[in-house]
Amino acid sequence: MPSIVHQEKALWVKGHDGSLIRISGFLPDQDRVLETSIFTFNSSFGLEKRIEAQEALWKDSTWNLKDVTVFDFRMGTTRHLDTLATGALGDPELFREEIKKPEEMNFMELYDYYGRLEKAGFRNLKYTVRLYEKLAYPAINFVMILFGVALALNTSLGGGVRSAGLGVIVSVLYWLLYSLSISLGNTGVLQPWLAPWVSPLVFGIAGTVLYLKIQE
């Protein structure tokens, strides 16, 4: 199987035919590879051919390159093709297994990846929402701590077991609202920057109100 090497703004793959392949990104939900370069060498590691493609689509068990330019250095020719099938790249499952998923990336990695997608002409709302999730997610700890203190110290809520039960209910409601707002962001109903912040803002305000009502 070809191996994948991660470098800044590129992935390098050893092709099945011995070629060296550079890709700028992979869209797992579309089986699509972005900005592909394939370098073919002779036995002396001299560059014989270079193929540049705007993208590659997986169809009928093969990769189909789109908007292709073939530089044949051995023949001294240059060809432009609309499509070109290639067996150099492996099965898309290889990329799914070895390439980082958006949820596994840190903020800067995801920001850079999203930038490459936009540059290539692809705008995926899910990736945009996940990007803002990286900023909103740490607020969960603050909100949960705020509610925990407010419920534990607010005697009007009963304290003890009753407060613990309310804490569980608050946690469930938080994640229900969070999941709903993320879904609405993924479908474009909510702005991608707003979707991850709905739940932290709503429960942050509610927790602050409860905290201020603590009877001294």
Q: Are residues 19 and 53 in the same domain?
A: yes
Is residue 53, in this structure, part of any structural domain at all? Answer: yes
Is residue 109, in this structure, part of any structural domain at all? Answer: no
Angstrom CA distances, 31 to 2, 49, 95, stand at 17, 25, 9
pTM of the predicted structure, to 2 decimals: 0.54
Confidence of residue 109 (pLDDT cuts 50, 70, 90): confident
Q: Are residues 139 and 81 in the same domain?
A: no
Q: Are residues 57 and 17 in the same domain?
A: yes
The pLDDT of 74-97, averaged and rounded, is 84
Q: Are residues 150 and 73 in the same domain?
A: no
Full domain range(s) for residue 163 = 125-212
pLDDT of amino acid 123: 67
Higher pLDDT, 159 or 211: 211
What is the rounded CA–CA span in Å between residue 56 and residue 86?
9
Domain final residue pick, 81, 99, 117: 99
Domain final residue pick, 99, 133, 155: 99
Question: For residue 70, is pLDDT > 80?
Answer: yes
Q: Are residues 87 and 132 in the same domain?
A: no
Is residue 152, in this structure, part of any structural domain at all? Answer: yes
Q: Are residues 135 and 89 in the same domain?
A: no
Q: Are residues 89 and 137 in the same domain?
A: no
Identify each DSSP E strand in 73-202 by its residue range. Answer: 77-86
Higher pLDDT, 153 or 198: 198
What lies within 8 Å, CB to CB, of 94 at 6+ separation is 1, 2, 4
pLDDT of amino acid 156: 62
Q: Are residues 8 and 95 in the same domain?
A: yes
Q: For the chain, how many structural domains are there in total?
A: 2
Q: Are residues 95 and 137 in the same domain?
A: no
157: tokens are 């809520």
pLDDT of amino acid 92: 79
Is residue 57, in this structure, part of any structural domain at all? Answer: yes
The pLDDT of 148-166, averaged and rounded, is 68
Helices marked H in 55-138: 92-98, 107-119, 125-136
The pLDDT of 44-59, averaged and rounded, is 89
Q: Are residues 175 and 88 in the same domain?
A: no
pLDDT of amino acid 39: 93
Is residue 181, in this structure, part of any structural domain at all? Answer: yes
pLDDT of amino acid 2: 47
Is residue 150, in this structure, part of any structural domain at all? Answer: yes
Question: For residue 215, is pLDDT > 70?
Answer: no
Q: Are residues 50 and 84 in the same domain?
A: yes
Is residue 106, in this structure, part of any structural domain at all? Answer: no
Higher pLDDT, 118 or 98: 118
Confidence of residue 1 (pLDDT cuts 50, 70, 90): very low
Is residue 119, in this structure, part of any structural domain at all? Answer: no
Domain final residue pick, 65, 99, 133: 99
Question: For residue 189, is pLDDT > 60?
Answer: yes
Confidence of residue 176 (pLDDT cuts 50, 70, 90): very high
